[in-house]
Amino acid sequence: MVYSVEYFNRRVLEEIESWPVGILADYARLVELLIEFGPGLMMPHSRSLGDGLFELRPHGREGIGRALYCFVVGQRVVVLHAFVKKTQATPRSDLAIARKRMKEVGDA
């Protein structure tokens, strides 16, 4: 089964495209795995954050990126929010943005 990857809006994709090259290269590799394995993609590449929200975990010499995503009907993955991590824990504000967007995707 093959999954398709979409972005919540153009700004999410632009954020990812602005990442340092090493993180971006790892993100591209992880997206390929996500397309192939879908919900079967596990640590260290992906992790469940609960209630249907997941994080893709790219990293490079320049740091660590996070792309928060969910699955929707029809083997679709929606990347809801993305950022380069600056702290050990994922900031609550970033989680809140992703959860709000996930609700919007689910209500659509």
State pLDDT tens for residues 55-90: 999 999 999 999 999 999 889 999 999 999 988 899
- Inter-helix orientation angle 10-17/21-37, to 10°: 130
Work out the average pLDDT over 89-100: 95
Instruction: For residues 13 and 19, give the distance between their C-alpha atoms in angstroms, rounded to a whole number.
Output: 10
State pLDDT tens for residues 25-54: 999 999 999 999 999 999 999 999 999 999
For domain 4-107, give the fold.
YaeB-like fold (3.30.2310)
87 burial type by CB count under 10 A (0-12 exposed, 13-18 middle, 19+ buried):
exposed
Alpha helices in the chain (DSSP H): 10-17, 21-37, 92-107
pLDDT at 108 over 70: no
Full-prediction pTM beyond 0.85?
yes
